[in-house]
Structure 1
Amino acid sequence: KPVSVPNPLCMEIDFYRTDMADAAELVPGVKRLGSRTVSFTGHPEEVFRVQELVLYRLKYEM
Structure 2
Amino acid sequence: FKPVSVPNPLCMEIDFYRTDMADAAELVPGVKRLGSRTVSFTGHPEEVFRVQELVLYRLKYEM
* TM-score between the two structures when normalised by the length of structure 1: 1.00
Measure, in 2, the Cα distance between the counterparts of 1:13 and 1:19.
Answer: 13
- 1:12-51 residue pairs with structure 2 within 5 A? 12-51=13-52
Instruction: Write the deviation string for residues 18-57 of structure 1: whole angstroms up to 9, x where unpaired.
Output: 0000000000000000000000000000000000000000
**Identity, % of aligned positions:** 100
RMSD across aligned positions (CA): 0.2
Say which SS state the counterpart of residue 10 (structure 1) adopts. Answer: strand
Aligned residues: 62
Measure, in 1, the Cα distance between the counterparts of 2:4 and 2:31.
Answer: 25
Runs of 4+ with >2 A deviation = none
Unaligned ranges ≥5, structure 1? none
